[in-house]
Amino acid sequence: MKVSRRKFMGYAAVTGAGVGLPLCLTGRRATESVSSGLKTGKPVPLPYEELGKFLSKEQLRWHHESHYGGALRGFVKLDQGLFGNQRQRIAKANSVLLHELYFENMTAKKQSVEKTMGALIKKRFGTTDRWLEDFRSAAKSCRGWAMLAWHPVNGKLYNVATDSHDDGLACSGVPLVVVDMYEHAYYLDFQNRKGDYVDAFTDHINWAAVENRLRACLT
Ligand SMILES: [Fe+2]
């Protein structure tokens, strides 16, 4: 799978020329239609009140208001200046974007992997179950963010685990499935049962949203 030079340069621009902003959504969507607090300075609302038996209203609201909202407020403040705080500014931006992708890619009702995504997973991992096994292992091994990412240079999928917001290398791909592995994402509902949270997350992936992200990469 090849990526045009124009598309890749667009990607590089969005990602901060190698610094590693993880929005990384190529082409049209990256520049025009992504709804993000990075553009408006205002938080993108939660798309749901609760997620059935997965995550409660209290867990989601607290996470959204305190952590996502806090990251956005921090980014807006840091982004008022051009110089200094580069590392902190990127970390806040990454946190904002990854939270937005995370909140968007969950759903109360179980969905099936859609056509384009399913084909790419099968090509790379053999079966969806094999991908799931590897993704769950990656998520349980980290305390920051776990993602299924698409790389714009070779077109391959990678499961990625990071322990921070500013791991530029790990975030150089396009995040397609994103799970927040910081304790604040699950502790109210799952306490120290990290593995149960990961397993429940993979039963609540919004595959329609993931399919849209992948299609934005491929068009
Ligand atoms: Fe979070």
Return averaged pLDDT per consecutive 10 residues of the chain, 219 residues in all. Answer: 38 33 45 77 93 94 97 95 85 93 95 97 98 98 95 91 74 87 97 98 97 93
- What was the pLDDT predicted at 82? 82
What spacing in Å lies between the alpha carbon of 121 and ligand 1's midpoint? Answer: 26
Structure tokens at 22: 């993880």
Residues sharing a CB contact under 8 Å with residue 44, sequence separation 6 or more, in sequence order: 35, 36, 37, 100, 103
DSSP 158: E
CATH class of 1-219: alpha beta
pLDDT of residue 201: 98
The Å distance, Cα 44 to ligand 1 centre, comes to 14
Q: What separation in Å is there between the alpha carbon of 3 and the centre of ligand 1? A: 31
Give dist(CA 162, CA 174) in Å, integer: 14
* Predicted local confidence at residue 6, as pLDDT: 38
- Ligand 1 centre and the CA of 162: distance in Å? 13
In the chain, where the domains are located: 1-219
Task: Give the C-alpha distances (Å, rounded to integers) separating 179 from 11, 36, 96, 145, 174.
Answer: 22, 18, 13, 6, 14
User: Are 172 and 20 spatial neighbours (Cβ–Cβ below 8 Å)?
Assistant: yes
pTM of the shown model = 0.86
The rounded distance, in Å, linking the Cα atoms of 32 and 215 is 15
What's the gap in Å between 194 CA and the centre of ligand 1? 14
**DSSP for residue 31:** I
Q: For residues 48 and 103, what is the distance between their CA atoms, to the nearest angstrom?
A: 9
Give the span between the Cα atoms of 92 and 81, in whole angstroms.
14
- pLDDT at position 24, please? 46
